[in-house]
Structure formats: structure tokens, C-alpha cells
């Protein structure tokens, strides 16, 4: 099983950062992707985001579209925790965002636990390449989130 846990400090209120974190469409728009790829998020349940909310995420490049995963919110603590797990597709056991108020704003932590197919081969691939790539992309994603929140302080303002 692969594991990534990284944090960043953001000069914004936890309430504002949390509003962004639970906005799956906006969050995925901040993921660093190869050129010409874009994510599409479809909310499969009605109402506000809560435990039990389900999403389907696909990626598109030109006319090619592929469903990557479906996920369900399994943990939600307002302004503190947003936790999903995959129900199909990419097998992430834990996809968690935790928020901690700090003197300069909010510490946002991304935790991801995932399985790769192929038992031994998956473990070797993870050790040689996959985990490093996921960590690098997660660092870039966290920086994109930080830049977005600090450049758009009122975009998700609780006020």
C-alpha cells in the first residue's frame, strides 16, 4: 500500500479553506495535470455535501473521456476534516484533508493511502516511481491551493 502525507500553511481562515476543500470541482481544477487533460466531477447525490455524498470523476483529453473513480464522503467535520474513499476505479483507501487553525491562518494536510495492482510488482513500482510522482504532484497541488486561496481571499469567505 502506498502512503503520502503532506502539509502546507495557508494565510486564510480554516472556514474559507474548508469551503474550497469540499468543492470537488474547484479542488480538481487546481490539480496539476499534463497538458490538455481536464477533470470532470459529477455529484451523484442531491443536497449539501455530507457523509454519504457520492461523486464520479472522469478525465478528458480532446474527445477521449475515461471514468477514473467514484468516491463517497465517509468523514466530515466542519472546518476540520473532509474524508473520502473510492468505491470504484483508482483504489484509494484514504483520501483525507485535515485543517488546523494556526497563527498565520490554516495548516492544510493531505493524506492519501492507495493500493496498486500486482502485489510484488505494484510494491516495487510504488517504491521506484509511483510514490515519488504522487508526492511531487501533491506538493504542486498544495501550492496551487495556497496560491488560489491567498490570491482570492473572498472567493470562499465565510463572511
Domain architecture of the chain: domains with CATH: 2-32+73-151 (3.30.530.20)
At 7, the pLDDT band (50, 70, 90 cuts) reads: very high
What's the rounded Cα separation, in Å, for the pair 145 and 26? 10
3-state secondary structure 20-71: HHCCHHHHHHCCCCCCCEEEEEEECCCCCCCCCCEEEEEEEECCEEEEEEEE
Instruction: For the chain, give the number of residues.
Output: 159
pLDDT tens sequence across 12-33 = 999 999 999 999 889 988 988 7
pLDDT category at 157 given cuts 50, 70, 90 is: low
Sole residue written with cell 472567493: 155
Kindly state the DSSP code that residue 159 receives in the 8-state scheme: -
The total of other beta-carbon atoms located within 10 Å of residue 48's CB is 7
Supply the pLDDT for residue 159.
Answer: 39
- By percentage, how much of the chain surpasses pLDDT 90? 52
pLDDT in tens, 50-78: 999 999 988 777 777 677 789 999 999 99
More confident residue, 103 or 115: 103
pTM for this prediction = 0.84
pLDDT in tens, 96-114: 999 999 999 999 999 988 8
Amino acid at each position: 500500500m502506498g502512503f503520502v502525507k503532506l502539509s502546507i500553511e495557508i494565510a486564510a481562515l480554516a472556514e474559507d479553506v474548508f469551503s474550497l476543500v469540499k468543492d470537488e470541482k474547484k479542488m480538481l481544477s487546481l490539480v496539476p495535470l499534463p497538458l490538455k487533460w481536464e477533470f470532470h466531477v459529477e455529484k451523484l447525490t442531491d443536497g449539501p455535501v455530507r457523509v454519504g455524498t457520492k461523486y464520479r470523476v472522469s478525465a478528458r483529453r480532446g474527445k477521449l473521456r475515461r471514468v477514473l473513480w467514484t468516491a463517497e464522503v465517509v468523514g466530515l467535520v466542519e472546518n476540520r476534516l473532509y474524508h473520502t474513499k473510492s468505491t470504484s476505479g483508482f483504489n484509494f483507501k484514504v483520501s483525507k484533508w485535515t485543517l488546523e487553525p494556526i497563527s498565520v491562518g490554516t495548516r492544510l494536510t493531505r493524506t492519501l493511502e492507495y493500493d496498486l495492482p500486482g502485489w510484488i510488482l505494484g510494491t516495487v513500482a510504488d517504491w521506484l516511481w509511483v510514490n515519488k510522482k504522487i508526492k511531487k504532484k501533491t506538493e504542486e497541488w498544495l501550492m496551487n491551493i495556497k496560491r488560489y486561496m491567498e490570491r482570492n481571499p473572498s472567493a470562499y469567505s465565510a463572511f
